[in-house]
């Protein structure tokens, strides 16, 4: 099953089991971002911003150091609480040997706290770098950071989810799910940025694009 198919199944489950008021709020947020006129994300041909973030073991990871080893597939996701993100990361884990065989590597970034990053990495058995973007600074560099609307905050709190606490910060922020293909000279060769968090860049497209680098 492709990632696109798995995400469609996850969406069907979401629609079948999620209260209508929650669905309405989620789809409202997607629609508002899609219709905002804002061009999210760094664009193809632009230079990728360097950054240093901590991984789940509290080790510093520098993007440009990683690029010296080969191209990087850099993906931003919302957090381990998001079923669509987990489906995405599991699918990317499956193609990790293919990414590495092409000389590339995979780095995933979310605003969740290092503790939650570690628990997710263990639970999902992810063997690529999973980094914690404290306060969303790197997501802001890549023009994909946004403040969670009040109506989504209220809905999540009612469901028992305090996103600020989960991310160990005092703000409710998230990145728009995005994947950037970056070559060794730090140039973004392709960019996928989609406000619809139920969709992600398919694994096969990643491998196809990586072969071009």
Measure the CA–CA gap between 137 and 104, rounded to whole angstroms.
25
What does the buried/exposed string (b/e) look like for 78-112 if buried means 16 or more CB atoms within 10 Å of the residue's CB? bbbbbebbbbbbebbbebbeebeebebbbbbbbbb
Q: Specify the pLDDT at position 153.
A: 94
Q: In angstroms, what CA-CA distances link 59 with 74, 82, 120, 129? A: 18, 25, 17, 10
Neighbours of 38 (CB within 10 A): 12
SS3 assignment, position 147 = strand
70 exposure class (CB count in 10 Å sphere: 0-12, 13-18, 19+):
middle
Look at residue 204 in the predicted model and tell me its pLDDT.
Answer: 96
Q: Alpha carbon 31 to chain centroid distance?
A: 19
Residue-level pLDDT at 79: 94
Q: Residue 122's pLDDT is what?
A: 84
Residues contacting 80, CB < 8 A, separation 6+: 86, 110, 112, 116, 117, 119, 120, 123, 124
CB-based burial, 152-172: b 16+ in 10 Å, e otherwise = bbebbeeeeeebeebbebeeb
Q: What is the mean pLDDT of each run of 10 residues along the chain (213 residues)?
A: 94 92 93 95 96 93 97 97 95 97 97 88 90 94 97 91 90 97 97 97 96 89
């Amino acid at each position: 099953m492709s990632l696109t198919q798995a995400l469609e199944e996850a969406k069907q489950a979401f629609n079948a089991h999620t209260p209508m008021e929650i669905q309405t709020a989620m789809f409202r947020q997607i629609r508002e971002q899609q219709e905002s006129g804002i061009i999210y994300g760094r664009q193809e041909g632009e230079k990728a911003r360097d950054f240093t973030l901590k991984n789940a073991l509290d080790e510093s990871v520098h993007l440009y150091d990683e690029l010296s080893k080969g191209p990087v597939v850099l993906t931003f996701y919302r957090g381990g609480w998001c079923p669509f993100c987990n489906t995405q990361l599991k699918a990317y884990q499956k193609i990790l040997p293919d990414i590495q065989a092409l000389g590339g590597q995979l780095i995933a970034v979310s605003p969740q706290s290092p503790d939650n990053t570690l628990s997710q990495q263990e639970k999902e058995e992810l063997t690529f770098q999973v980094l914690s973007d404290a306060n969303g600074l790197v997501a802001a560099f890549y023009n994909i950071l946004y403040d969670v609307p009040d109506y989504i905050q209220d809905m999540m709190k009612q469901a028992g989810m305090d996103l600020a606490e989960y991310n160990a910060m005092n703000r409710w922020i998230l990145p728009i799910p995005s994947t950037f293909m970056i070559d060794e000279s730090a140039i973004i060769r392709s960019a996928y940025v989609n406000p619809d968090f139920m969709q992600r860049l398919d694994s096969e497209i990643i491998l196809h694009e990586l072969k071009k680098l």
